[in-house]
Amino acid sequence: MNSARALLLSGGPDAVTLSAVAADIGVTHANLIHHFGSAAGLQTSLMGSMVDDLNQALDAAVTRLRTDEGAPLELINAVFDAFSEGGAGRLAAWIALTGDLTHLEPVRDAVLNLVNVIMEKMGEESPEARRRIGSAVLFIALSAFGEALIGPILRTMLDQPDDAGRKVVASLLPQFIQKPDPS
């Protein structure tokens, strides 16, 4: 899977072929067909592996949120890292473009768990809190997705540092999570 992931990250979904993976790891094309059955089997296996990695990153962020007051920025970093270096941004784009959203079902549980842990940490259990925190998680994920796909290009155009997107999200996040002022 490491070879297939590297091909995805360097060349996009079209680069993940049985021939390319076979050449990269020094086996025959037939050997990979025997193991995965088809290119679709290889791609499904890669998606599953990467979804597992994304879930682990989210779970690690959730664990940290439960134990550390300084964790919000760490949460943002964990999600951004998973989407960029971990390849979840390219994976999500690939899954969305294929239209087979069943691969994202395991992520659903991890995302909902993240919302629940943030609610626990804030001591809030209301539909309004769930909506606000869900909006915050959506904001983080969409920002991390965009950063993974086009962030380096936009940052270069705008002469921004590598962590500019993360800092913007961290600075805006409190607006999503804070209770509305009743006045």
Cα–Cα distance measured from residue 26 to residue 16, given in angstroms and rounded to the nearest whole number = 15
Give CA 103 to chain center in angstroms: 13
- Predicted TM-score (pTM) of the model is 0.75
The structure tokens listed for 14 are: 């079209």
Whole-number Cα distances in Å, 23 to 19, 20, 41: 6, 5, 18
Taking residues 24-32, report their average pLDDT: 88
pLDDT digits (tens, 9 = 90+) for 38-69: 887 887 788 778 777 777 777 777 777 667 65
Give CA 146 to chain center in angstroms: 11
pLDDT digits (tens, 9 = 90+) for 82-132: 888 878 888 888 888 888 787 777 777 778 887 887 888 777 788 988 998
